[in-house]
Amino acid sequence: MKKIILLMCFALIPSFSYSQILTENFEYPAGDTLTNHGWTAFSGGTTNALLTTAPGLTYSGYAGSGLGNATTVINSGQDAYLPFSSNQSAGSVYTSMMVNVTTARTGDYFASYLPSTSTTLYNGRLYVQSAGSDSIAFGISKTTAGSGGIFYGAPIYSTGVTYVLVLKYTFNVGSTTDDEVSLYVFDGAIPSTEPGTPYVGPVTGTATDVADLGRFALRQGSTGSSPDLIVDGIYTDRTWNNAVLPVELSSFAAVISNNDVTLNWSTSAETNNSGFDIERSSNGVWSKIRNVSGHGTSTTPNSYSFTDRNLASGNYSYRLKQIDFNGNFEYFNLSNEVIIGIPVKYELSQNYPNPFNPSTKINYALPADGLVSIKIFDMSGKEVMTLVNEVKTAGYYSVNINASNMSSGIYFYSIQAGDFTATKKMMLVK
């Protein structure tokens, strides 16, 4: 099913400039510090360091729903920022995120924009405060409370519920104090166009406008006033558009053959589809393994396939990142986990490529634990290289050969594992 995405469209130009300038789905193992993944700590030291926490948040129809983990912001400790891909000094900047407040207090800000050269000029501050019982209100200020005040919306929201917040900063030409900050809060469908009236704002304050914005910060403030909350799926863009990405995926399945996984997917229609990044995870961290080009715009069904070969035994997850020509994207997750089991018999595969120069790969399979020896011999039977000589657990393996110090010619490689032996021929051509 397609997702409603709060990612913003941008006019297509020959260099394919993207409108999105920050993406954070916290796709890192739980317990990792954010400073290991592009964030910079700038105050609060290492006290209560911002960490990746599990599980991530979900929100029906939101782009970041169910992707990766999250981060937990508490009421005192480290502050950190993530830089934009480019600094902004004109137009509007929108940052959307999922937020679930676990504890609200008297009121303080937990997120903000920062200029590209300052870690003290918090602009577009995002607040939450308790309104009694489990009721909460979100608020904003342009800068400090003394430069225009803090403005809260109606206390119509609750702790323990996930909302989508959109923080907007607008640069206005003219007066040096007329830039605006607005806040939108959603607990249902996200509208396709920017609402005419925000939940709070626009507010201008009285402080001098900043020259630019270049960072988005998370803040763990005062013990008695700041909230405890979970933040996930942070996206910053230059315009508003929640339209679904123009690809209708009709199927996505995996077929396992020994230690190869073939992914098959089909689309019923495509519009402006650049292609698909294929991503794989075996330990909670996603990595791109291949890109497959799309069909641009098509009203007829299209089928795609990719084989991920020679995987080690273990459990794997797969997803497709569909990308349009404007740089907007959407994820499609394979519904089931792929399990590569233990081989049923010993195998030694033909090296690939063959002939080769100077590198090649040998795959082998072990149905049982034991000592494994793989060696290379020349035509006279002289041993020229030992590739493996150690105890291995049952599973699928690959070994790479670098023959840069070997002469051209025909060689043999042999495996001995338990009672199993096998020999194959390979050719080095320089």
CATH, residue 278: 2.60.40.10
Which of helix, strand or coil describes residue 50? coil
Domain count, the chain: 3
Q: Is residue 95 part of a domain?
A: yes
- Contact of 208 with 60, CB cutoff 8 Å: no
Burial class of residue 260 in the structure, from the number of CB atoms within 10 Å of its CB (0-12 exposed, 13-18 middle, 19+ buried): middle
Token match 């989508």: residue?
164
Considering the domain architecture, whether residues 116 and 216 belong to the same structural domain is answered as: yes
Q: What is the pLDDT of residue 246?
A: 53
Provide mean pLDDT across the span 360-379: 95
Which of helix, strand or coil describes residue 209? coil
Considering the domain architecture, whether residues 371 and 335 belong to the same structural domain is answered as: no
Q: Is residue 91 part of a domain?
A: yes
Q: What is the pLDDT of residue 12?
A: 23
pLDDT, tens only, 324-339 = 876 778 889 998 899 9
Burial class of residue 375 in the structure, from the number of CB atoms within 10 Å of its CB (0-12 exposed, 13-18 middle, 19+ buried): middle
Say how far apart CA 218 and CA 231 lie, in whole Å. 9
- Contact of 137 with 152, CB cutoff 8 Å: yes
Express as a percent the part of the chain with pLDDT over 90. 71
- List the CATH number of the domain containing 152: 2.60.120.200
Q: Is residue 220 part of a domain?
A: yes
Task: Name the pLDDT band for 394 (thresholds 50, 70, 90).
Answer: very high
Considering the domain architecture, whether residues 30 and 62 belong to the same structural domain is answered as: yes
Q: Is residue 10 part of a domain?
A: no
pLDDT, tens only, 162-215 = 999 999 999 998 888 999 999 999 999 888 789 999 999 999 988 899 999 999
Considering the domain architecture, whether residues 219 and 367 belong to the same structural domain is answered as: no
Considering the domain architecture, whether residues 357 and 292 belong to the same structural domain is answered as: no
pTM of the complete model: 0.59
CB neighbours of residue 389 within 10 Å:
11
Which of these ranges, 38-42, 245-249, 299-303, 385-389, has the smallest mean pLDDT? 245-249
- Contact of 81 with 122, CB cutoff 8 Å: no
Considering the domain architecture, whether residues 165 and 25 belong to the same structural domain is answered as: yes
Q: What is the pLDDT of residue 19?
A: 65
Say how far apart CA 47 and CA 76 lie, in whole Å. 8
pLDDT, tens only, 1-60 = 233 233 332 222 222 234 678 889 898 999 999 999 999 999 988 889 999 999 999 988
Considering the domain architecture, whether residues 360 and 324 belong to the same structural domain is answered as: no
Length of the chain: 430
Q: Which domain holds residue 370?
A: 347-428
Considering the domain architecture, whether residues 231 and 114 belong to the same structural domain is answered as: yes
Q: Is residue 3 part of a domain?
A: no
Q: Is residue 14 part of a domain?
A: no
Considering the domain architecture, whether residues 389 and 332 belong to the same structural domain is answered as: no
CA dihedral 23, 67, 228, 156 (to 10 degrees): 90
Which residue from 51, 42, 82 is spatially nearest to 69, judged by alpha carbons? 51
Q: Is residue 144 part of a domain?
A: yes
Considering the domain architecture, whether residues 175 and 143 belong to the same structural domain is answered as: yes
On the question of pLDDT at 277 being above 70, the answer is yes
Q: Which residue has the higher pLDDT, 11 or 320?
A: 320
On the question of pLDDT at 235 being above 80, the answer is yes
Task: Name the pLDDT band for 385 (thresholds 50, 70, 90).
Answer: very high
Q: Is residue 333 part of a domain?
A: yes
Provide mean pLDDT across the span 112-120: 95
Q: What is the pLDDT of residue 35?
A: 95
- List the CATH number of the domain containing 392: 2.60.40.3080
Considering the domain architecture, whether residues 168 and 76 belong to the same structural domain is answered as: yes
Contacts of 1 by beta carbon, 8 Å cutoff, 6+ apart = none
Say how far apart CA 135 and CA 222 lie, in whole Å. 20
Considering the domain architecture, whether residues 258 and 218 belong to the same structural domain is answered as: no
